[in-house]
Amino acid sequence: MPSPYRAIFDAPGTKAFSVAGFIGRMPLSMVGLGILTMVSELTGRYTLAGALTATLALSAAVVGPQVSRLVDQYGQRRVLRPATLIAGAAVSGLLVAASQGWPDWTLFLFAVVAGCVPSVGSMVRARWTVIHRDTPHLHTAYSFESVVDEVCFIFGPPLATMLSASWFPEAGPLVALVCLMVGVWWLTALRDTEPEPHPRDTQADPSSALRSPGLQVLAGTFVATGAIFGSIDVATLAFAEERGSKSVSGLVLAVWALGSCLAGIAFGLIRFKGKAEHRWILGICAMAVSMIPLLLAGNLPILAVALFVSGLAIAPTMITTMALIEAHVPRAKLTEGMTWISTGLAVGIALGSSVAGWVVDAAGARSGYVVSISAGAAAAAVGFAGYRRLARPAQGEEPSGDGDGDSGKVQGLVA
């Protein structure tokens, strides 16, 4: 591992919470695709499969920031364990309902309750922020976490589809549930690196981290970005099935994540100068343009190459986004602020997977990538429209960074 990455692990406890966070984050890449594969295997209905995935993502978008807000106030251990138990029970109910052929409404009910699953990635990034705040190591730590996210997406999708398509339909989501329980319990047992809670009077300070104009822009843009992710998952699964290779869809999606992973590793080794906002908007535009070749792919190998190229823009954009959040959100609300990005992605995944499922059923798999192209254009449009709002922290709040008008904390991290 390159020396900048070795340096971030010099602090005690960092290796342990990183491994725990990796295990707890595997469901991020497995549950959605696992449910898609499970439901399509059991019913053959992509519309239902996409709608269930969308429901789960939308529920997580609504409940997730509230869970993280409680974490900021009361600590990770006190909040994450009960939330994980509730989510685990709901996912178990969803698997039983699907396998037993219960009415569709029961599937949606369990999917809604399962939305209280915690954002493990936000919890781990909050620990890195406390340890390396005000040092160049924080940029490297955020880069490392984006690489971990992509590693999850390299191994998670093929594992989920292989288990559900080759073993039994419920296997993918079941293994994801086990990973979630093990990862969260291990992470919350590591008390030495747990961020101190920030109890606050909800009457005196009722505001959400989303009050920050900059965070509003970032979260809004990532709604469209999430639609890219959700639509590509559905379209690729259907594309592979049309060609008689449904079980290979996970490997194709893993190639997409591999491109992002490699870009993230390289990005973490660079110390940038200039405004992070410029790199962010460039990354959003690169993701948008990279959607176009997907519509032109005529077979799975060409599709895999196109996905690899499009993945090169993902991790650098996510890394820059997290640095901007750290500059725009008060320290007492940092976990909540990071979770709002996951919320934006979840809402987008809900929209993208649902619309793509409908388009695939109506017009075929390749048409699903039209949704991806449209979502990329929307992300670029929102990014440009709100770009100026990223130039200042939320009024009346002390951000995690130094709070100057040019997001100087972020520049200091990467200069």
Answer whether residue 172 is part of any domain. Answer: yes
Q: How many residues does the chain have?
A: 415
Mean pLDDT to the nearest integer, 134-151: 84
Q: What is the chain's percent helix, strand, coil content, to nearest 5?
A: 80, 0, 20
Mean pLDDT to the nearest integer, 390-408: 45
* CATH number, position 394: 1.20.1250.20
Answer whether residue 90 is part of any domain. Answer: yes
Given a cut of 80, is residue 285 above it in pLDDT?
Answer: yes
- Name the region of 101 (left: φ>0; alpha: ψ -120 to 50; beta: rest): left
* Summary mean pLDDT of the chain: 82
Mean pLDDT to the nearest integer, 82-111: 90
Given a cut of 80, is residue 290 above it in pLDDT?
Answer: yes
Given a cut of 80, is residue 44 above it in pLDDT?
Answer: no
Answer whether residue 17 is part of any domain. Answer: yes
What is the tally of structural domains in the chain?
1
SS3 category, 275: coil
The pLDDT tens digits for 357-384 are 889 888 888 889 999 999 999 999 999 9
Answer whether residue 367 is part of any domain. Answer: yes
Contact (Cβ atoms closer than 8 angstroms) between residue 304 and residue 383 = no
Answer whether residue 1 is part of any domain. Answer: no
Domain housing 231: 12-189+210-414
The pLDDT tens digits for 154-211 are 777 678 777 877 787 788 888 889 999 999 999 999 999 999 887 764 444 556 777 7
Given a cut of 80, is residue 409 above it in pLDDT?
Answer: no
Which residue reads 């005529």 in tokens?
A: 298
The pLDDT tens digits for 242-258 are 887 877 887 888 888 88
Answer whether residue 54 is part of any domain. Answer: yes
Answer whether residue 313 is part of any domain. Answer: yes
Answer whether residue 201 is part of any domain. Answer: no
- Interatomic CA distance for residues 38 and 16, integer angstroms: 33
Structural element, H or E, at residue 127: helix 120-132
pLDDT at 406: 33
**Nearest alpha carbon to residue 84 among 148, 23, 128:** 23
Alpha helices in 364-407 (DSSP H): 368-385
pLDDT at 164: 75
Query: Does the predicted TM-score (pTM) go above 0.85?
Result: no
Grade residue 403 by pLDDT with cuts at 50, 70 and 90.
very low
The beta strand positions in 198-285, using DSSP E, are none
Mean pLDDT to the nearest integer, 329-354: 79
Packing angle between helix 249-268 and helix 300-311, nearest 10 degrees?
20
Given a cut of 70, is residue 393 above it in pLDDT?
Answer: no
